[in-house]
Amino acid sequence: MKRAVLLVGLLLSINAAPAFAGTIDLPKTGQITCYDTEGTIISCEGTGQDGDLQMGIAWPEPRFTNAD
């Protein structure tokens, strides 16, 4: 009986997850350098690393404000 309740709960949580899914805007990291597995700097072109893709949105300007 415990297994059945656990299984039903698991299935309900898996099916409910997409209902709460959405998109968010993550800011760019500013990463412009790419590295191989040894840590050596390499060309970013075609690596799929963040320095290659430059994904995300620009940080707001100004990024910080003084709350005084």
Q: Which domain holds residue 42?
A: 24-61
Q: Is residue 30 part of a domain?
A: yes
Q: Is residue 31 part of a domain?
A: yes
For 44, the token pair is: 């970013």
pLDDT higher than threshold 60 for residue 55:
yes
Q: Is residue 35 part of a domain?
A: yes
Q: For residue range 7-54, what is the model confidence (pLDDT) as tens digits?
A: 666 666 665 555 567 888 999 999 999 999 999 999 999 999 999 999
Q: Is residue 54 part of a domain?
A: yes
For 49, the token pair is: 């690393």
Q: Is residue 66 part of a domain?
A: no
Are 47 and 34 within 8 A, CB to CB? yes
Q: Distance between CA atoms of 28 and 9, rounded to whole angstroms?
A: 38
- Prediction pTM value: 0.53
Q: Is residue 33 part of a domain?
A: yes
Q: How many domains does the chain have?
A: 1
